[in-house]
């Protein structure tokens, strides 16, 4: 994208452009500009739909950021969830300035940078609530909010046009587990002084009342700890540090050992312990490898896989394919997370596998084992009435949530003078504030870039059709026929390659050996695994990628197609 594609900001105009997270869930990112300074807020990812084969992450199209060039001065992060920090490694190379975030947020960003070989230690600047930093004409103040993880902040950005507030993700938890309360006092002060614009989370606007506090799950879990005669396996998001603390405390109370099972949950628990956000009493934690050395009734496993991800710990445990953790008839598996829309089938499949092991499954539909991290309607109304903005822009939600938040905001502010103006924006809308007021003044380039683990992405869904920008490694489609009853391989697998270049005469032997890898993978899988098409597809994809990397040094996109006959 060349510089002329995005018009320069005219003098004395504040320009705000949502690049993701408005009209959709995930991929949150926003650019705030005044003259020659652009400030980025968050850089998140979205997870792919099941039919987006070979795609691991979706990030915002960064053409607008590239077009602003050296005018981009800093990136400010509200908190450490993937939909707010997952794209940081892709954004960092596009500008030279600092990245501001709280200790927990930056600690979660660091491993991502390490994975991408980015050394940005000197650019990561830790801030605390009530701290302020200056970026060109902007002063950014960090205000504590409560959410489903520690160290979350809203942003108060003082600009030459006035004060804008970006809430980040929040709920108003009056009994926070870490004792750190939502700084409602500061929001009220700012509201009294005058706020130009409020950009607020709309995720749960369609839920009435108030969202429950994190401690609300304790009663249900106490009941489970009391009644479970075997192992207790709780699947949760690896960033749910507060939920981990609740469960660790209950484990200590009921004399159970705690094992963290799954790479991301082990990593996040270590980070949280190091920073003092997760406190595990001495002698309570054990390694997953030690689980088999204890009686089932003495163990609690905290595992990844609450969304039914095929390679996550719970999925492996459910099909009896985990190295250390198995399930038996007295065990209970708890899904302590909401089902992200689109994941229902995968979750149901895992629950069926758990049932085959004889274990019981508990979800938020049967017991109160999960509370949301986002404020419901009454909390969103409270923030509006405290801030009393001149302009309101709902963010973080699909268009129906944004629209409902807009209606409720008008109701809350019906008696205000001057009358509240709501700007219902979508990704790419150029929102301008100046002396004449506020308006949506045009469209900036936006879109999606689909990323697979080769760390090469392409703008838009074309990546699934021809992967033009992945010509270096290409694509290999493996068509595999399996017997519907036994799951056994039928005939020879057929491999078709496009854009995957190997030496002359090597292709035949390479694809013949790849067929052997497929046959071996299927033969070594259990009957239950073979009957699970989603699981076998993912298993074949992983094995073939590993094989092609080892034999050819390349990482083609591998698309296994399983046909039952």
Given 362, 383, 401, which residue is the final one in a domain? 362
Calculate the CA 112 to chain-centre distance.
13
Read off the CATH number of the domain in which 290 is found: 3.40.50.10710
CATH of the domain at 79: 3.60.15.10
Q: Which position has the higher pLDDT, 83 or 556?
A: 83
Q: Are 44 and 57 in contact (CB under 8 A)?
A: no
Is there a contact between 130 and 143 (Cβ–Cβ < 8 Å)?
yes
6: pLDDT strictly greater than 90: no
Residue 533 has pLDDT above 60, yes or no: yes
In a shared domain, residues 230 and 180: no
Distance CA 426, CA 395 (A): 9
Which pLDDT band holds residue 460 (cuts at 50, 70, 90)?
very low
As given in the structure block, the two tokens for residue 41 are 């807020």
CA dist 444 and 127 (Å) reads 31
Both structure tokens of 443: 């469209």
User: Which range (6-10, 105-109, 124-128) has the least confidence?
Assistant: 6-10
Least confident of 169-178, 227-236, 472-481: 472-481
Percent of the chain beyond pLDDT 90?
72
Does the residue 267 lie in any domain?
A: yes
Count the alpha carbons within 13 Å of 421 in the hemisphere toward its beta carbon. Answer: 14
Residues 266 and 190 both lie in one domain: no
Residue 101 lies in a domain: yes
Report the percent of the chain where pLDDT is more than 70.
92
Which of 449, 483, 515 delimits the end of a domain?
Answer: 449
One domain for residues 265 and 341:
yes
> What per-residue confidence (pLDDT) applies to 511?
86
Does the structure show a pLDDT above 90 at 277?
Answer: yes
Q: What are the angstrom distances between the C-alpha of 34 and each of 42, 167, 339?
A: 18, 20, 40
Can you tell me which residue has the tokens 């001065």? 73
In the set 79, 353, 374, 396, the catalytic residue is: 374
pLDDT at 157: 98
Detail the DSSP E strand segments found in 130-231. Answer: 132-135, 138-145, 152-159, 162-166, 195-201
Cα distance between residue 137 and residue 521, in whole Å:
59
For the question of residue 322 being annotated catalytic, the response is no
DSSP secondary-structure letter at 9? Answer: P
Same domain, residue pair 126 and 25 = yes
Q: State the pLDDT at residue 505.
A: 67
How far apart are the C-alpha atoms of 452 and 537, rounded to whole Å?
16
| pLDDT computed for residue 450 by the predictor | 79
Q: Is 484 within 8 Å of 564 (Cβ atoms)?
A: yes
Total tally of structural domains belonging to the chain: 3
What is the DSSP secondary-structure string of 299-348?
A: EEEEES-TT--TTSHHHHHHTT--SS----TT-EEEE-SPPPTT-HHHHH
Same domain assignment for residues 553 and 438: no
Which of 396, 415, 449 represents a domain boundary (last residue)?
449
Is 458 a residue whose pLDDT tops 50?
no
Is 42 in the active site? no
Q: Please tell me the distance from the alpha carbon of residue 177 to that of residue 246, in angstroms, as a whole number.
A: 8
- pTM here is 0.82
Taking all residues of the chain, what is their mean pLDDT, rounded to a whole number? 90
For residue 47, being part of any structural domain is answered with: yes
Q: Are 235 and 414 in contact (CB under 8 A)?
A: no
Exposure class string for 221-258: b at 16+ Cβ within 10 A, else e: beebbeebebbbbbbbbbbbbbbbbbbbbbbbebebbb
Reading across the β-sheet that carries 57-60, which strands appear in turn? 57-60, 448-451, 457-459
**pLDDT tens digits, residue range 35-54?**
999 999 999 998 777 666 66
The answer on 225 and 295 residing in a single domain is yes
Q: What is the mean pLDDT of residues 206-220?
A: 96
Whether residue 275 is found in the same domain as residue 386: no
Within-domain flag for 294: yes
Are β-strands 448-451 and 57-60 bridged in parallel, bridged antiparallel, or unpaired? antiparallel
* 251 & 335 share domain: yes
- Which residues lie across from 159 on neighbouring strands? 162
Pairing type for strands 152-159 and 138-145 reads antiparallel
Same domain for 254 and 322, yes or no, is: yes
One domain, residues 68 and 8: yes
pLDDT at position 111 = 94
CA distance 351 to 344: 10
Torsion of CA 237, 241, 245, 251, to 10 degrees: 30
Query: 425 lies in a domain?
Result: yes
101 has a pLDDT exceeding 70: yes
Res. 2 pLDDT band, cuts 50 70 90: very low
454 domain-assigned? no
Residue 144 maps to a domain: yes
> How many angstroms separate the CA atoms of 272 and 132, rounded?
24
pLDDT single digits (tens) 326-375: 999 999 999 999 988 778 999 999 999 999 999 999 999 999 999 999 99
The terminus-to-terminus CA distance of the chain in angstroms comes to: 48
Peptide bond into 418 cis (omega under 30): yes
Q: What are the tokens at 384? A: 């509006």
Residue 260 CA: distances (Å) to CA of 300, 304, 406, 526: 9, 9, 42, 26
Q: Is residue 456 part of a domain?
A: no
Q: Quick one: CA dihedral 506, 507, 510, 516, positive or negative?
A: negative
Residue 79's nearest CA partner among 110, 111, 101 is 101
Co-location of 305 and 347 in the same domain: yes
3-state secondary structure 392-452: EEEECEEHHHHHHHHHHHHHHCCCCCCCCEECCCCCCEEEEEECCEEEEEEECCCCEEEEC
The stretch 453-474 carries a mean pLDDT of 50
d(CA 388, CA 413): 7
Would you give the DSSP letter of residue 475? E
* pLDDT at position 306: 95
SS3 label, residue 208: coil
Reported as a pLDDT band with limits 50, 70 and 90, residue 558 is confident
Note whether 271 and 371 are within 8 A (CB).
Answer: no
Instruction: Report pLDDT digits (tens) over 145-197.
Output: 999 999 999 999 999 999 999 999 999 999 999 999 999 999 999 999 999 99
CATH number at residue 544: 3.10.20.580
Beta strands in 28-168 (DSSP E): 29-34, 37-41, 57-60, 72-76, 99-101, 124-126, 132-135, 138-145, 152-159, 162-166
Cα–Cα distance, 132 to 140 (Å, whole number): 5
CA dist., res. 72 & res. 32, Å (int): 9
Are residue 331 and residue 406 in the same domain, yes or no?
Answer: no
Containing domain of residue 351, as a range? 214-362
Kindly indicate the confidence band of residue 7, based on its pLDDT and cuts at 50, 70 and 90.
very low
């Amino acid at each position: 994208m060349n510089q002329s594609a995005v018009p320069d900001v005219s003098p004395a105009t504040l320009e705000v452009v949502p690049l993701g997270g408005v009209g959709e869930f995930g991929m949150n990112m926003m650019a705030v500009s005044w003259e020659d300074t652009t400030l980025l807020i968050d850089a998140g990812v979205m997870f792919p739909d099941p039919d987006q084969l070979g795609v691991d992450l979706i990030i915002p199209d960064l053409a607008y950021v590239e077009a602003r060039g050296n005018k981009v001065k800093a990136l400010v992060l509200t908190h450490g969830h993937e939909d707010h920090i997952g794209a940081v490694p892709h954004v960092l190379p596009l500008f030279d300035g600092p990245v501001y975030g709280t200790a927990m947020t930056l600690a979660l960003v660091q491993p991502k940078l390490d994975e991408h070989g980015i050394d940005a230690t000197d650019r990561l600047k830790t801030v605390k609530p009530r701290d302020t930093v200056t970026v060109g004409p902007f002063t950014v103040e960090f205000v504590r909010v409560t959410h489903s993880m520690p160290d979350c902040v809203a942003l108060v950005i003082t600009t030459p046009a006035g004060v804008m507030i970006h809430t980040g993700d929040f709920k108003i938890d009056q009994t926070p587990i870490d004792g750190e309360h939502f700084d409602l006092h500061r929001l009220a002060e700012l509201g009294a002084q005058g706020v130009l614009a409020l950009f607020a989370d709309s995720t749960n606007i369609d839920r009435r009342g108030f969202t429950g506090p994190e401690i609300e799950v304790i009663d249900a879990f106490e009941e489970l700890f009391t009644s479970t005669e075997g192992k207790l396996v709780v699947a949760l998001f690896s960033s749910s540090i507060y939920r981990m603390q609740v469960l660790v405390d209950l484990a200590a109370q009921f004399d159970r050992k705690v094992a963290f099972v799954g790479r991301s949950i082990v990593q996040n628990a270590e980070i949280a312990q190091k920073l003092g956000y997760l406190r595990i009493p001495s002698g309570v934690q054990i390694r997953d490898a030690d689980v088999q050395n204890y009686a089932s009734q003495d163990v609690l496993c905290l595992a990844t896989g609450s969304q039914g991800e095929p390679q996550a710990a719970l999925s492996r445990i459910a099909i009896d394919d985990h190295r250390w953790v198995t399930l038996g008839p007295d065990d209970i598996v708890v899904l302590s997370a909401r089902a992200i829309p689109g994941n229902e089938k995968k979750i149901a499949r895992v629950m069926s596998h758990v049932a085959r092991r004889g274990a019981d499954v508990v979800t938020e539909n049967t017991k109160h084992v999960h509370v949301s991290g986002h404020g419901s309607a009454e909390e969103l109304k409270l923030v509006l009435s405290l801030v009393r903005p001149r302009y309101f822009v709902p963010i973080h939600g699909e268009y129906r949530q944004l629209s409902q938040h807009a209606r409720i905001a008008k109701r809350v502010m019906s008696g205000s003078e001057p009358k509240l103006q709501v700007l219902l924006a979508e990704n790419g809308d150029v929102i301008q504030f100046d002396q004449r007021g506020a308006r949506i003044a045009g469209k900036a380039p936006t879109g999606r870039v689909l990323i697979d683990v080769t760390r090469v992405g392409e703008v838009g869904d074309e990546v699934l059709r021809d992967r033009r920008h992945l010509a270096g490694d290409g694509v290999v489609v493996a068509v595999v026929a399996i017997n519907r009853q036994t799951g056994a391989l039928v005939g020879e697998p057929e491999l078709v390659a496009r854009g995957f270049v190997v030496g002359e005469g090597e292709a035949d032997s390479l694809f013949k050996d790849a067929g052997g890898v497929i046959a071996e993978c299927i033969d070594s899988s259990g009957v239950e695994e073979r009957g699970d098409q989603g699981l076998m597809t993912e298993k074949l994809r992983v094995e073939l990628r590993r094989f092609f990397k080892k034999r050819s040094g390349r990482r083609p996109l591998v698309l296994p197609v399983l046909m039952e006959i």
